[in-house]
Amino acid sequence: MLEVWFIAWCGVGAATGLELAGASGGDRTFLIIFLSFWAFFFFRVLKVVLWRRIGREMIRVTAEGMSVKNGFKDFGKARFFIKENIKKMEVIRRDPTHFIQNLDQSFWIMGGDSIQFTYMRGRFVLGKQLQEKDAAQLAKLIDKALRKF
């Protein structure tokens, strides 16, 4: 569904671009502003479509610590966290009455992290759009792996 919507969105952009070519005055200004917003959502959804196709969230636990990488195939930068500074992994509890929290779990948004941990006064998240049960299992697995070394 997301890809069908994306293709339709491209059609809207193409039609607007064709209309812009023949517009003048206030119509031209309106279409330029419209295409600015259109481009914002185009790139936002393109990133999500690519994430769904080739994106990976990679978590590696070693004796020194843990690295987390959100990558598109081989592209992406890993963040490394020293083991001694990582506090317990915990599942992010979502309130079903909060609109923004539920929107973050939508299929057209790349966010929706499910696990958080504290690292040197900062809060970091991982586990994109996991069910609560799966997030709890992953958090326990990471905690166990960090203690193992």
Q: 65-101: per-residue pLDDT in tens?
A: 999 998 888 888 999 999 889 988 889 887 778 787 7
In this predicted model, which residue has the larger pLDDT, 79 or 103?
79
Architecture of domain 57-148: Roll (2.30)
36 membership: H or E segment, kind and range: helix 25-54
Among residues 55, 60, 61, 118, the alpha carbon closest in space to that of 86 is found at 118
Residue 107 has pLDDT above 90, yes or no: no
Q: Is 76 left (phi over 0), alpha (psi -120 to 50) or beta?
A: left
Residue 17 has pLDDT above 90, yes or no: yes
Q: In this predicted structure, what is the pLDDT of residue 28?
A: 94
pLDDT digit string, tens, across residues 19-63: 999 898 999 999 999 999 999 999 989 998 998 888 889 999 999
Residue 105 has pLDDT above 80, yes or no: no
Rg (CA), the chain: 20
d(CA 36, CA 41): 9
Mean pLDDT score, 129-145: 89
Structure token pair of residue 145? 């792996």
Residue 11: Cβ-neighbour burial (10 angstroms; 0-12, 13-18, 19+): exposed
**Residue 113 identity:** D
> Whole-model pTM?
0.72
